[in-house]
Amino acid sequence: DAGVTQSPTHLIKTRGQQVTLRCSPKSGHDTVSWYQQALGQGPQFIFQYYEEEERQRGNFPDRFSGHQFPNYSSELNVNALLLGDSALYLCASSLEENTEAFFGQGTRLTVV
């Protein structure tokens, strides 16, 4: 059973560009959450998708948007990239009735 998979693993973008990150949840999981983790910090919640809709959102600007597909996979889009967007982006999947969230390995985004 594959766990949470994210692609790509590493990415370098130029300031002002747009980026799309992808996540496939653990088999059977219907909820996907995205987190941003800056170097030396804990992960910060961006938003969560359930039944193809954004259910919760953290304190992130509208430049951060997402989507969930019928197969529960998800994308995170970031527009007008800033240097400060450089971070490890983590995807986590879960089931409402389960205790734990399963994280992927993350996508390391570097904005230059």
Partner 1 sequence: LAKTTQPISMDSYEGQEVNITCSHNNIATNDYITWYQQFPSQGPRFIIQGYKTKVTNEVASLFIPADRKSSTLSLPRVSLSDTAVYYCLVGDDGPGFQKLVFGTGTRLLVSP
| Residues at the contact surface with partner 1, assessed by CB under 8 A | 4, 31, 33, 35, 40-45, 48, 56, 58, 88, 90-92, 94-106, 108
CB 43 within 8 A of CB 36: yes
In the complex with partner 1, the residue whose CB is nearer, 62 or 96, is 96
- Cis omega before residue 8 (within 30°)? yes
* In the complex, least distance from residue 16 CB atom to partner 1, rounded to whole angstroms: 26
In the complex with partner 1, the residue whose CB is nearer, 31 or 85, is 31
In the complex with partner 1, the residue whose CB is nearer, 81 or 89, is 89
